[in-house]
Structure 1
Amino acid sequence: MSIKIMADSASDLTKEYFTKYDMEMVSLTVHLDDKDYEDGITISPKNVFDAMRVGKSPKTSQVSPQTFKSIFTSYAESKQTLIYLAFSSELSGTYQTAKMMESEVKEEYPDANIYVIDTKCASIGYGLVVLHAAKMAQDGKSAAEIIEEVKNHSLNMEHIFTVDDLEYLYRGGRVSKTAAFVGSLLNIKPILHVEKGKLIPLEKMRGSKKLLGRMIEIMEERGGNFENQVIGISHGDDLERAEKLADMIKEKFGVKEFVIEYVGSAIGAHSGPGTLALFFLNKNYK
């Protein structure tokens, strides 16, 4: 029986990817207008960004323990191997919840082949790790081989991103009120990255004209062998700018394959419209 890969909706992969690679998906919850929605299923990123543009503040919550327990139990009972690749534990409690439920299920089914891995990644950076694992599973690789490669892939996945308005990150507790206010006042566009699963500010730039060029410079400084990589780009309802960035990267590095998708509803609720993120493997990846 083949190995099943599972990911959550913070991978920002559309349902089409999950269908194509026969993967399981679990959804984070988005709370908007006093209603709960399943990220990637009953609400679209566009809905979230449009709501934020008119001043609404969507909230999110992690995958429920019961959801994990139910899925893990079904795989334990059917004796099928399941590898759940989780959204960064530094950005959500979903990984910890999954680990708890894995332990509970294994008390009843000690031989269950269920593995829960913290990718320390987010958005399409996480999505690229998931797709790589899914392709390995389709190629008949063992669970040990997939897990080892996932850890290598995750560890060396660069996340370089910018947001249009620091206010959204302030609301999500990512930057101080002063930084958000000063940033908006001076039209400062931050460049951030993910380090050990956490959001870390990297640089600040005035205005957005030089932003794409600087993101590509950082890409060149940190990575290599781009023509043999799949490069990820996610955007907060700004496909035009995402495609412009892709064209610039293609021209400079000869990249052949991109995954370009919306920043999903759950992550977008914190980063806001106008977010632009770039994902690639760094020089340490072997």
Structure 2
Amino acid sequence: MSVVVVTDSSCCIDPEVIDRFDIRVVPLHVVADGRDLREGVDELPDDLSGVTTSGPSPAELTDVYAEALDASDGDGVVAVHLSRLLSGTWDAARHAAEAFGDRIRLVDSQSTAMGLGFAVVEAARAARAGASPAQVYERAVRVAATAKTLLVVDRLDHLRRGGRIGTATALLGTALAMKPVLHIVDGKLVLREKTRTMTKAMAKLVDGVVAEAGEDPLVAVHHRQAPDRARTLAEQLSERLPDGTEVGVSELDAVLGAHVGPGAVGVVVASAATGD
């Protein structure tokens, strides 16, 4: 067998890719009307207003790590998770991994969505090619370090309630009717710049991605219940990025969607050309 890669359901990876590389995905949780539901496993409500979210428990992670280790025939597991500053998943993963010693290697992607997903997929490619646990780990770390995530939301109160941005930033956007452009820096979601309209904010997303993209970038557009806006963003990016760049479009799943709210759009740009 080969090294098995594990991640969590915030990764936004296409299910076909997950199946192709046998990536193991630990579900995050949505609590709605007193019911604890698992993302990607249980049926979730369309309306996410008022729901709360949580990461997997150490016990859940332990079970998945053990199954992945068995599947690797002892070659080992590399687990790549969303930023420790955005979720308690990392702490739960650290506790779960202690029981396995160095057979489980943990990576904090310092991101989420495809900022996490690109690192996971490239690590899984390396594993499929026969890389050692150390090499798969390094691949994940290096690709994750290249990821840049930019985001615009219709309303900031979803992020404020979840504690993902400060109250001052949320009040600024609400009181002044601003459309702040946010980005992830060192694993934390922070204000990048302020705009007054969604059109200007979208233009800033495109400019930001083009400035960060290399010759052969990995690019993903995400949205929450805003497919037309996402398609427009993808088209604008395709016009300005290097020829042949694939710009994937996907809707954010429930946990991330609950935090960004309807109408949100974001872009992740990363690089697989890390010097290997």
**Equivalents in 1 of 2:139, 2:85: separation in Å?**
21
Match of 2:55 in 1: 62
**Equivalents in 2 of 1:39, 1:76: separation in Å?**
23
| Kept after mapping to 1: 8 A contact 2:180/2:195 | yes
Larger RCO: Structure 1 or Structure 2 (Cα < 8 Å, ≥ 6 residues apart)?
1
Write the mapping of 1:102-113 to structure 2, written as runs, cut at 5 A. 102-106=97-101, 113=103
Is residue 256 from structure 1 mapped to residue 245 from structure 2 by the alignment?
A: yes
Is residue 279 from structure 1 mapped to residue 274 from structure 2 by the alignment?
A: no
Q: Which amino acid aligns with 2:33?
A: D
Say which of 87, 111, 126 aligns to 2:116: 126
Say which of 213, 226, 229 aligns to 1:241: 229
Say which of 43, 66, 72 aligns to 1:73: 66
TM-score if structure 2 supplies the norm length? Answer: 0.90
CA deviation string 1:111-167 (max 9, x = no partner): x62211111111121111111112222222222222112111111210011111011
Q: Which amino acid aligns with 2:89?
A: T
**Equivalents in 2 of 1:66, 1:176: separation in Å?**
31
For the residue of structure 1 that corresponds to 2:183, the secondary structure is strand
Closer, same or farther in 2 for the Cα pair 1:258/1:220, shift >3 Å?
closer
| Kept after mapping to 1: 8 A contact 2:165/2:190 | no
Write the mapping of 1:144-163 to structure 2, written as runs, cut at 5 A. 144-163=134-153
Displacement of 1:29 in angstroms is 0.6
Displacement of 1:222 in angstroms is 2.9
Q: Which amino acid aligns with 2:224?
A: G
TM-score if structure 1 supplies the norm length? Answer: 0.87
| Kept after mapping to 2: 8 A contact 1:123/1:264 | no
Report how many aligned residue pairs link the two structures: 271
Closer, same or farther in 2 for the Cα pair 1:105/1:138, shift >3 Å?
closer
Is residue 91 from structure 1 mapped to residue 86 from structure 2 by the alignment?
A: yes
| Kept after mapping to 1: 8 A contact 2:182/2:192 | yes
Q: How large is the RMSD of aligned CA atoms in angstroms?
A: 2.1
For the residue of structure 1 that corresponds to 2:207, the secondary structure is helix
Closer, same or farther in 2 for the Cα pair 1:281/1:76, shift >3 Å?
closer
Q: Gapped runs of 5+ residues in structure 2?
A: none
Q: Which amino acid aligns with 1:278?
A: V
Q: Which amino acid aligns with 2:129?
A: D
Q: Gapped runs of 5+ residues in structure 1?
A: 107-111
Match of 1:42 in 2: 42
